[in-house]
Amino acid sequence: MSRLFGLARLSRKSVILAGSAAVDSIGTGLFLALASVFAVLFVGVDPVQVGVVVGLANAIALLAPIPAGWLADRFGAVPVWTVLLLARAIGYGCFLLVSSFGSYMVLLCLLGLFDRASSPVQQVFVLRMEPPENRSRSMATLRTARNIGIGIGLLLAGVVISIGTREAFMIGFLANALSFLVTLVVMRRLARTSDMRASGRDPEEDSDAAARRGVALRDRPYLALTTGNALVLLHDSELFTLLPLWIISKTDLSPAWIGPLLAANTVLTVLLQIPLTRWVHSIPTARTTTIWSLLPLLIAVALFILAEQSGSAAVQLPVVLLAVLLLTLGENLHAVSAFELSYRLASERSFGSYLGVFDFGHATQLAVGPPFVTVVVLRGTIGWVALGAAFALGATLMAAAAVGRTRRLD
C-alpha cells in the first residue's frame, strides 16, 4: 500500500516537515472558518465589509512573493522564513486583542503580506534541503499534509462555532498562532541537521547580487510559464468560489451537496498528490503532464455546461460529481507539473527570485479569479467556454515555456 501511494519513497526530512505543515494547517483551517464569523458576531463588522477587507488584503499582498524570494536568495531561506513565522505567530496571536473594524482590517492586511511572502520562501527551503530527485515528492507531501490539516481545522472550527462563546473563538485563534511556532521549531531543527544546498549569502556572488535581483523578471519563458500557470490555476476559483454559487443559482441541486462535493475533491487530492510525482521528474515529463492536465479540465467544463442545461436534479448530481472528480484530477496533474517546471526552469543561484515571480502568478489568480468566475462564468455557456479557453491558453503557455527552455539547455 505504501508503495502504491508513493509513501515508501518519502525522505525522513519531508515527513517531519509535512507533520509540522499539517499542524500549521489545522490552525489555518480554524482561522479561515472563524475569522469572518468572529468579526461579524463579536466585533460588529458588516458582512459586506468583511468581503471588502479580504479582497483588500489579497490586493495588498499581491507583490509580496517577489521581494520575499529575493531576500531568501540574499540571506538564505532559514533566516527569512524564521522572521516570517515569528511575525505570523505574533500577528495571528493579536487577533485575541481585536475589538474594532480598524484593528481587524489593519491586522488582516498585514497578515496577508506575511502569508503570501512565506510561500516562495518555504519552497526555497525545500529546494535547498532536498536533492533534485526528491523535491517534487516533498512538495507534494507538504500539499497533502496541508489538505489534511485544513480539513481537520475546518471540522474543529465547526465545534468552536457551535459553542459560540468569545472564549472558544480565542482558543481557536491562540491554537492557530501557536501552530506557526511548531513549524518554526521543526524548520530550524531540520536546517541544523540538513545539508542546505547553496543557501544564504555567498561572498563570491555579492558583487552581482543586485544584478540578479531582477533576473526572473527579464526571463521571458519564465514569465510565460508564470502567466500560463495563473490561467490554469483558475480551477481553484472554479472549485471553491464558483461551484457553491453555481449550484445555488444555476442548478436544482440542494445546497447540502456543496460540502460533500468539496470533500470529494479534498479526499481525492490527498490520494493523488504523492503518487502523481512518480511520473514527473524532468522538464519533458512535466511538460507532458501539463498538457494531459488540460484534458480532464476541459471535459469537466463540458460536464458543467451539460448539468446547467439539464433541468433534473437526478441527472445533474452524477454529472456534477463526475465533473468535480475530473476537475480534481486536472488540478493535481497541473499542481505537480507546475512545481516541477517552476524550479527546473529557474536559475539554481536565484531560486528565491524565480519562485517569488512564479508565486506572484498564484497571488494574481487569488485576486482576479473569484471576480472572473462570478462575473463571467456564471453568465452561462459562453462563460464556461471562456473558462475552458483560459485553461487551454494557460497550458499552451506553460508547455511553450518548457520547450523554449529545453532548447536553450540543449
Average pLDDT over residues 224-232: 96
Give dist(CA 154, CA 25) in Å, integer. Answer: 10
Does residue 286 form part of some domain? yes
All three cell numbers of 13, joined, read 526530512
Number of structural domains in the chain: 2
Mean pLDDT in residue range 95-104: 92
In a domain, 202, yes or no: no
Report the pLDDT value the prediction gives residue 394, as an integer from 0 to 100. Answer: 97
Is pLDDT at 158 greater than 90 in this prediction?
no
pTM of the full predicted structure? 0.81
Determine the pLDDT at residue 203. Answer: 39
The per-residue pLDDT for range 165-214, each reduced to its tens digit, is 999 999 999 999 999 999 999 999 998 876 665 444 443 444 444 445 56
- What local confidence, expressed as pLDDT, does residue 204 receive? 42
Average pLDDT of 51-71? 86
Same domain membership, residue 247 and residue 140: no
Mean pLDDT of the chain: 87
Output the pLDDT for position 398.
Answer: 96
- Cα–Cα distances (Å) from 197 to 68, 125, 243, 280, 351, in that order, read 19, 9, 42, 22, 11
Q: How large a percentage of the chain has pLDDT more than 70? A: 91
Determine the pLDDT at residue 298. Answer: 98
Residue 326: what pLDDT? 97
Residue 211 is predicted with a pLDDT of 45
Provide the pLDDT confidence category of residue 406 given band limits of 50, 70 and 90: low
Task: Tell me, yes or no, whether 209 lies in a domain.
Answer: no
Complete DSSP assignment for 143-200: HHHHHHHHHHHHHHHHHHHHH--HHHHHHHHHHHHHHHHHHHHHHHHHHHHS--TT-S
Mean pLDDT of 7-12: 63
Res 407 pLDDT > 50 = no
Residues 187 and 240 in one domain: no
77 CB burial (10 A radius; 0-12, 13-18, 19+)? buried
- Tell me if 211 is assigned to some domain: no
Whether 163 and 288 map to the same domain: the answer is no
CATH at 244: 1.20.1250
Q: Please, what's the b/e burial string for 173-212 (b: 16 or more CB within 10 A of its CB; e: otherwise)?
A: bbbbbebbbbbbebbeebbeebebeebeeeeeeeeeeeeb
Tell me, what's the pLDDT at 196?
A: 62
- Cβ neighbors of 395 (< 8 A, separation 6 or more) are 228, 232, 290, 291, 293, 294, 334
DSSP, res 252: S
Same domain, 176 and 133: yes
Using the structure block, give the residue that is written with the C-alpha cell 524548520.
Answer: 187
The 8-class DSSP code of residue 31 comes to: H
| Same domain? 263 vs 311 | yes
Would you say residue 408 has pLDDT above 60?
no
What does the block give as the cell for 65? 512573493
For the segment 34-55, the average pLDDT, to the nearest whole number, is: 84
Task: Domain of residue 328: give its range.
Answer: 216-409
Comparison of pLDDT for 159 and 387, the residue scoring more: 387
Task: Kindly tell me if the per-residue pLDDT of 244 is higher than 60.
Answer: yes
Helix (H) or strand (E) holding 282: none
The CATH number that applies at residue 79 is: 1.20.1250.20
261-265 contacts, C-beta under 8 A, 24 or more apart? 261/320, 261/321, 261/324, 263/151, 264/321, 264/324, 264/325, 264/328, 265/239, 265/324, 265/327, 265/328, 265/331
- Same domain, residue pair 287 and 342: yes
Choose from 93-97, 151-155, 206-210 the range with maximum mean pLDDT. Answer: 93-97
Q: Of 177, 79, 63, which Cα lies nearest the Cα of 116? A: 63
297 in the same domain as 164? no
- Rounded Cα distance between 385 and 301, Å, is 8
Full DSSP string of 100-127:
SHHHHHHHHHHHHHHHHHHHHHHHHHHH
